[in-house]
Each structure stands twice: as structure tokens, then as C-alpha cells.
Amino acid sequence: MLKRYPLLSSCLLVSGAIALFFWTRPAAVSAPTPPAPPAYGSCPPSRDGIGKTFMGREISQVMGHPGIGWLERTEREKEEAPSKAIALLELAPDAVLADIGAGSGYYSFRIARLLPEGKVVAVDIQPEMLAFLKAESARLGVTNVQPHLGAVDDAKLPAASIDAALMVDAYHEFDHPAEMLASLRVALKPKGKVYLLEFRAEDENVPIKPHHKMTEAQARKEFEACGFRFVTNQPGLPWQHLLVFEKP
């Protein structure tokens, strides 16, 4: 019968091919776009704050580069146990990790040793911190710590270029946290992890100023509003939370 109606048979063939294409086409793989996070607010600036709020938290002032000595203090291992925190990060030897708010590179250089085929992209907004990082790389003969100048609202990393991001005592200073997290969502590969180390605000025995601490509840509220999935809070560090989030 189809021979008698060649036009009908061609139409059937074409519509069959179209149906097969849509039926077998793989589902889109990009992460879902998160809803827009709530707007920033304002408050009278407190001693260590900037008078700008995000989801009820006043953002802290940035630690300037004269604070390098404090970041590099010898007691840091005893107080914060960075070697224990670093051992809890799940990183393959060829991983690319972005240390956002790297400062003097205290963590960057210690992690870079674990990535013989990978690297640490050490991101900061203060050129003086990057100059210190460059000098340290030369002094130590390290070739896999890459200083990288970011902006206050953008880490300026290429899309899908990093396996994980780390923020140590830095996120609470970001004056555009929602934009920074949006830029990290772009820079991370799918299922990429964000490791957030912040001094525990729930613990009054942690001897750090209030604006430089965060509760787990606050961090989860902000990261989830910006489209990250909470994975776990690793216990066992003396002063800090080690919160793990994932790009969906």
C-alpha cells in the first residue's frame, strides 16, 4: 500500500526518525540553576563588620596583608590542626584545587605537596598576598601553586576548570558572597566539592572575634540558597567547622 502512496511513506519515515531522536537523546547534564539568593541587607557597622548583611549575618572586614605574620604563626598547627584538616580533604594526586582567599598560601603550599600531578590555584584579591605567594614558590622551589588575582565578586576561574574549592577563614570576609559562590559553581566540575573551614560560632571557647566565626546553620543556609548541596560537617578540629558541600 505504501508503494501506492510514496508521499505518505516518506512522511511516516521522517516522523519516525524524529520520534526516535527525541526518545533516545540523553538528558541534559548541566546542574540545575538555583533560585536567586536573597538580596543583601544593611545594619549599623559593628567594630569588625562592614554594615552589609547576607541572610542575617553581618559580613566581616577583610584581613589586610599586614596580617601575613599571624597566618604563618608557628602555633597554628597546635591551635587549628591544619595537617588534620588537610588529611580530611578527598583529593586525587592530579586534582586541581582552588584555594579561595589563599592569603599567604599557608594551606596552598601544604596541599600542593599532595598533588604531584595536579595543582593549587591560589586565589586572592590582594596583590600583596599574591606577591608573597610568588616569593614563597621561588624560595621553596614549588611549581604547582599558581597565584591568581580574583575580584570581590568573581573568582575569575574558567568554567569546569577545578575539581574542588577550599576556603579557610576567608568566606566570612567576602563582601559579595552570593556572586562568589555563583562563580565557583561555574568553575567547578560537576559533583565538585567545596571545603569550607570557619571558626565555630557555636563554641564560645574558640578565642576568635564574633564576625570571624560562623555557625553550621548559617553556612548551610547561605550555601544551600546559592545552589550547593550539604554533604557533611567533619568533626574533630580544635576550633573550626570543616563543612563539605557539593555542586549538584
Ligand X SMILES: C[S@@+](CC[C@H](N)C(=O)[O-])C[C@H]1O[C@@H](n2cnc3c(N)ncnc32)[C@H](O)[C@@H]1O
Q: Are strands 240-246 and 57-60 parallel, antiparallel or unpaired?
A: unpaired
Q: Give the nearest distance from C-beta 85 to ligand X in angstroms.
A: 10
CA 193 to CA 239: how far, in whole Å?
Answer: 22
DSSP per-residue codes, 106-161: HHHHHHHTT-TTSEEEEEES-HHHHHHHHHHHHHHT--SEEEEE-BTTB----TT-
Residue pair 83/77 in contact by the 8 Å Cβ criterion: yes
| Phi (first) and psi of residue 143, to 5 degrees | -115, -5
Q: Give the nearest distance from C-beta 128 to ligand X in angstroms.
A: 9
Q: Give the nearest distance from C-beta 62 to ligand X in angstroms.
A: 5
CA 126 to CA 173: how far, in whole Å?
Answer: 13
Q: Is 206 exposed, middle or buried (0-12, 13-18, 19+ CB in 10 A)?
A: middle
At residue 36, the 3 state secondary structure works out as coil
Whichever of 123 and 164 has its CB closer to ligand X, that residue is 123
Whichever of 77 and 94 has its CB closer to ligand X, that residue is 77
| Phi (first) and psi of residue 241, to 5 degrees | -80, 145
Q: Give the nearest distance from C-beta 32 to ligand X in angstroms.
A: 25
Q: Give the nearest distance from C-beta 26 to ligand X in angstroms.
A: 36
Whichever of 151 and 159 has its CB closer to ligand X, that residue is 151
Residue pair 172/198 in contact by the 8 Å Cβ criterion: yes
Q: Give the nearest distance from C-beta 174 to ligand X in angstroms.
A: 4
Whichever of 16 and 127 has its CB closer to ligand X, that residue is 127
Residues lying near ligand X in the complex (CB under 6 A) are found at: 62-63, 71, 100-104, 106-107, 123-126, 129, 150, 152, 168-170, 173-174, 180
